[in-house]
């Protein structure tokens, strides 16, 4: 093998390594996942407000949907600037319904779904806090909030 051929092979190898490094560093790289927020209450829920934080700070919210109950607004209220940010560590969601109590959800119900993209190697660490929940008559009620995440395909 001539010296020129060895130089060409070395150059291609260096180019391949550079391409791999470049692809891994592209901003488009990352993992997409859904974050579902569930509220469980014995009483019908007419309003809720949730604060979601991602302690790693590497979360980008790309979409927000309402939950399973169609009487609530789609999407819930949220700060629209959050979707314009490349990364955020916090978002506040809220919604209400004027439906009668017998039409409101009770038990465990999904109130919102977030589509997020995370970057980096660390696993995202979500923390959600139920700021407020109310019954159809406007009175505050006790409820439990849970978060479930699933990777998107």
Partner 1 sequence: MEPTTELPETLPPALVERLRRLDRSQPIVDPRTDRAVLAQATEFFHARPRRAAVRMRWALPLGTAAALLLVAVLMRPLLLDAPGADDIDGSGRVDILDVLALARDRAARGDAAGISDARIEELAYRIVALDSSRSLP
Contact footprint for partner 1 (CB under 8 A): 46-49, 77-82, 88, 90-96, 98, 131-132, 134, 138, 140
CB of 87 to partner 1, least distance (A): 13
Residue 7: which H helix or E strand, with range? helix 3-24
Q: Which is nearer to partner 1, 38 or 96 (CB)?
A: 96
Interatomic CA distance for residues 82 and 130, integer angstroms: 19
β-bridge partners, 128:
52
| Least distance (Å) between residue 16 CB and partner 1 | 43
The Cα 70–Cα 61 span in angstroms is 22
Element (H, E) at 66: strand 59-66
DSSP designation for 21: H
Q: Which is nearer to partner 1, 31 or 129 (CB)?
A: 129
Residue among 19 and 140 whose Cβ is closer to partner 1: 140
Measure the CA–CA gap between 12 and 6, rounded to whole angstroms. 10
CB of 148 to partner 1, least distance (A): 22
- Closer CB to partner 1, 33 or 92, in the complex: 92
Least Å distance, CB 61 to partner 1, is: 12
């Amino acid at each position: 093998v001539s010296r020129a051929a060895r130089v060409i092979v070395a150059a291609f190898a260096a180019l391949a390594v550079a391409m791999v490094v470049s692809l891994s560093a592209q901003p488009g790289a990352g993992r997409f996942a859904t974050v579902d927020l569930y509220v469980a209450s014995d009483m019908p829920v007419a309003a809720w407000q949730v604060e979601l934080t991602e302690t790693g700070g590497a979360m980008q919210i790309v979409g927000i949907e309402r939950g399973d109950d169609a009487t609530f607004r789609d999407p819930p209220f949220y700060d629209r600037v959050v979707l314009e940010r490349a990364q955020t560590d916090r978002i506040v969601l809220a919604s209400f319904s004027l439906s009668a109590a017998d039409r409101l959800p009770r038990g465990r119900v999904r109130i919102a779904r977030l589509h997020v993209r995370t970057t980096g190697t660390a696993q995202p660490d979500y923390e959600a806090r139920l700021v407020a929940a109310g019954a159809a008559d406007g009175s505050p009620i006790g409820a439990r909030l849970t978060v479930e995440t699933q990777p998107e395909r």
